[in-house]
């Protein structure tokens, strides 16, 4: 399948690396925390049979480094805006986890009118997500103990159970996840600001869809899709059968089918 690699320059001069798979109507994927664009390759290869799928590394990881400079949520939204502009008129947006929160805030800020697919978007509507744990995360990263920082973030901010975190340590993606811990410092601070009001959400111009894994093991007070369901008018909700927060890895076939359904909705 055709795959093009390139980069686009965001508003502050940061170079954002991307891959584009397939041909057809465009979809830009904004991936979640502790992941990379390449983790979505299987999904992109499948959806690429009918669409152009843009996978980009969010700043601070993979092909989109930014050094040690801190950034706020607006920088993430600027990066997504640059990708949507690159993808062209009529492009749709898919955001997963923290990337889902970014996608929603981008759609609100930019008055985005296309299709918006939110896969378990993290937010701070029920409570501030970092909940006082950000200083310890920053200290661990500053000390260079990235594994401890990752465990701390998953336990206290993402709020996985100790048993779930221990399981994560044994998956093949664990080393890559650990390498993204410095970027999560910025993400956690940005996540604390993802709390759109009812009035904000009433201004949404996009056609919204939400995907929720039946087996997701995240604390509902962090993802809290229900809080967004109450705010997003015209939302269509789809369950991902027998899957959790990472169906792009565990069942890309089903995820592709559901996303294609969203993109083809009348």
Q: Where are the domains of the chain?
A: 3-126+191-263
Q: Please name the helix (run of DSSP H) or strand (run of DSSP E) that holds residue 123, with its range, or none.
A: none
Q: Strand 15-21 and strand 52-56: pairing?
A: antiparallel
pLDDT digits (tens, 9 = 90+) for 75-120: 999 999 999 999 999 999 999 999 999 999 999 999 999 999 999 9
Residues whose CB is less than 8 angstroms from the CB of residue 193 and which lie 6 or more positions away in sequence, other chains included? 72, 73, 124
Q: What is the pTM of this model?
A: 0.94
CATH, domain range 3-126+191-263: 3.40.50.1820
Check residue 60 and give its pLDDT: 87
Check residue 68 and give its pLDDT: 54
Check residue 244 and give its pLDDT: 85
Residues whose CB is less than 8 angstroms from the CB of residue 25 and which lie 6 or more positions away in sequence, other chains included? 50, 51, 52, 90, 91, 92, 263
> What is residue 37's DSSP assignment?
G
* Burial status of residue 253 (CB atoms within 10 A of its CB: 0-12, 13-18, 19 or more): exposed
Residue ranges of the chain with per-residue pLDDT less than 50: 221
């Amino acid at each position: 399948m055709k795959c093009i690699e390139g980069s686009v320059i965001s508003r502050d001069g940061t170079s954002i690396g991307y891959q584009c798979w397939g041909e057809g109507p465009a979809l830009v994927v904004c991936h979640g925390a502790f992941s990379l664009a390449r983790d979505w390759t299987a999904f992109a290869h499948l959806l690429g049979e009918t669409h152009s799928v843009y996978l980009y590394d969010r700043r601070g990881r993979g092909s989109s480094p930014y050094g040690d400079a801190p950034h706020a949520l607006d920088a993430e939204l600027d990066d997504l805006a640059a990708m949507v502009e690159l993808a062209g008129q009529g492009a749709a947006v898919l955001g997963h986890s923290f990337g889902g929160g970014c996608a929603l805030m981008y759609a609100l800020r930019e008055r985005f009118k296309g299709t918006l697919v939110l896969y378990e978007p993290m937010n701070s509507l029920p409570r501030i997500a970092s909940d006082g744990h950000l200083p310890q995360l920053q200290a661990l990263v500053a000390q260079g103990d990235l594994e401890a920082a990752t465990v701390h973030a998953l336990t206290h901010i993402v709020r996985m159970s100790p048993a779930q975190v221990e399981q994560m340590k044994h998956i093949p993606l664990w080393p890559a996840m650990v390498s993204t811990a410095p970027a999560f410092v910025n993400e956690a601070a940005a996540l604390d600001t993802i709390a759109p009001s009812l009035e904000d959400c009433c201004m949404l111009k996009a056609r919204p869809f939400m995907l929720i894994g039946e087996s997701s093991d995240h604390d509902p007070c962090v993802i809290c899709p229900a809080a967004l369901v109450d705010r997003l008018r015209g939302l269509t909700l789809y369950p991902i059968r027998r899957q959790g927060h990472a169906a792009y890895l565990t069942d890309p076939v089903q995820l592709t089918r559901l996303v294609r359904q969203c993109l083809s909705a009348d």
